C-alpha cells in the first residue's frame, strides 16, 4: 500500500487516446490521478480499470460520482490513493469474439498505462470492474485473463448471452485452484435483466468459486450504481 500522505489538494482527471490497429479509431480513455500525484514521485499506486455500460462512454463513471466518492474515502483514510482508468468502448453490441476491445484493453492499454503512469505492475494491485455491459467485459477478462487481474467487479452484469452458462462454466474451471481473482457481483431487485445475472452467480457458486454477492434494492440504472459507489471502492481496495 502506498504510504499515507497528508495532502490538501484534489486529484485530477486526464483524458487520452491510444492509437491501435485493432480498432477503427483510437481508444479514448480517462485517468483519475489521486491528490498530490505529481509530488509523490517515488510512489507507485494501485490501479482500478472501470468500464462503462452500453450506450455510454468513458465519462460515465466520472459523471456517476466515482471521483468524488474516491476522494472522500481517501481523505477519511478508508481507501489508499489509487489511479482509476476509464476507457471507452466503440462497438457496444458485438460479442467478445468479434470485438477486439478486450484484447486492446489488456494487451495495449494496460502496458501503456504502466509505461506512462506510476502504477504498481503486480497483479495484486490491479483490479477491473464495470456496470452492465462493462461488467460483462470485466467478468469476461477476469476469467479469461485471470493472471492479469486480482479483483473483478461485475455490477448488474447479465454476461454475454452466447457464453452463459456453458462457456463461463468452462472458463472458470480452467482457472488453477487458488488462483481465482476475487469476484464481486451485485444487482438491483428490480433489474429487468435479473435472471441472467442470477445465473452468473449460480455458475460461480456451483463451481466453488469464492465470490461476494449482493442483491439490493434498485433497478438497472445509474441511480443504483451511484448509490453503491462507496461499497464498490471499499471492496476493490480492501487488500491494498
pLDDT at 164: 84
Judge whether 2 lies within some domain.
no
Judge whether 72 lies within some domain.
yes
d(CA 37, CA 41): 7
Q: How many domains does the chain have?
A: 1
d(CA 67, CA 32): 7
d(CA 158, CA 156): 7
Judge whether 124 lies within some domain.
yes
For residues 22 and 102, the answer to whether their CB atoms sit within 8 Å is no
Judge whether 200 lies within some domain.
yes
Cell of 82: 489509487
Query: Which CATH number belongs to the domain containing residue 152 in this structure?
Result: 3.40.50.1820
- Percent pLDDT > 70 in the chain is 98
Which helix (H) or strand (E) is 103 found in, with range? helix 101-104
pTM attached to this predicted model: 0.95
pLDDT at 7: 73
Q: Which residues contact 167 (CB under 8 A, 6 or more apart)?
A: none
pLDDT at 195: 94
pLDDT at 95: 81
Which helix (H) or strand (E) is 110 found in, with range? helix 110-116
pLDDT at 184: 98
Judge whether 87 lies within some domain.
yes
Could you report the per-residue pLDDT of 25-37, keeping only the tens digit for each? 999 999 999 999 9
- Taking all residues of the chain, what is their mean pLDDT, rounded to a whole number? 94
Judge whether 1 lies within some domain.
no
Domain containing 177 equals: 12-237
**Max CA distance (Å), the chain:** 50
SS3 120: coil
How much is the average pLDDT of 187-205?
96
pLDDT at 6: 58
Judge whether 166 lies within some domain.
yes
Judge whether 114 lies within some domain.
yes
pLDDT at 59: 97
Could you report the per-residue pLDDT of 126-153, keeping only the tens digit for each? 999 999 999 999 999 999 999 999 999 9
> Closest by alpha carbon to 40, among 71, 66, 9?
9
Amino acid at each position: 500500500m502506498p504510504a499515507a500522505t497528508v495532502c490538501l489538494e484534489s486529484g485530477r482527471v486526464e483524458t487520452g487516446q491510444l492509437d491501435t490497429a485493432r480498432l477503427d479509431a483510437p481508444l479514448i480513455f480517462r485517468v483519475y490521478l489521486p491528490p498530490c500525484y505529481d509530488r509523490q514521485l517515488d510512489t507507485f499506486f494501485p490501479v482500478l480499470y472501470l468500464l462503462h455500460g452500453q450506450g455510454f462512454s468513458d465519462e460515465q463513471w466520472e459523471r456517476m460520482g466515482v471521483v468524488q466518492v474516491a476522494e472522500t474515502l481517501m481523505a477519511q483514510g478508508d481507501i489508499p490513493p489509487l489511479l482509476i482508468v476509464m476507457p471507452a468502448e466503440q462497438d457496444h453490441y458485438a460479442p467478445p469474439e468479434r470485438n477486439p476491445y478486450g484484447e486492446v484493453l489488456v494487451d495495449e492499454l494496460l502496458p501503456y498505462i504502466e509505461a506512462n503512469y506510476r502504477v504498481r505492475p503486480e497483479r495484486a494491485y490491479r483490479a477491473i470492474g464495470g456496470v452492465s455491459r462493462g461488467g460483462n467485459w470485466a467478468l469476461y477478462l477476469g476469467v479469461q485473463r485471470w493472471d492479469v487481474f486480482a479483483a473483478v467487479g461485475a455490477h448488474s452484469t447479465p454476461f454475454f448471452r452466447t457464453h452463459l452458462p456453458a462457456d463461463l462454466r468452462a472458463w472458470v474451471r480452467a482457472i488453477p485452484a487458488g488462483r481465482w481473482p476475487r469476484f464481486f457481483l451485485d444487482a438491483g431487485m428490480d433489474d429487468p435483466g435479473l435472471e441472467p445475472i442470477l445465473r452468473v452467480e449460480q455458475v460461480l457458486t456451483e463451481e466453488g468459486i469464492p465470490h461476494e454477492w449482493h442483491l439490493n434494492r434498485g433497478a438497472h440504472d445509474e441511480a443504483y450504481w451511484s448509490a453503491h459507489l462507496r461499497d464498490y471502492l471499499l471492496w476493490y481496495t480492501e487488500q491494498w
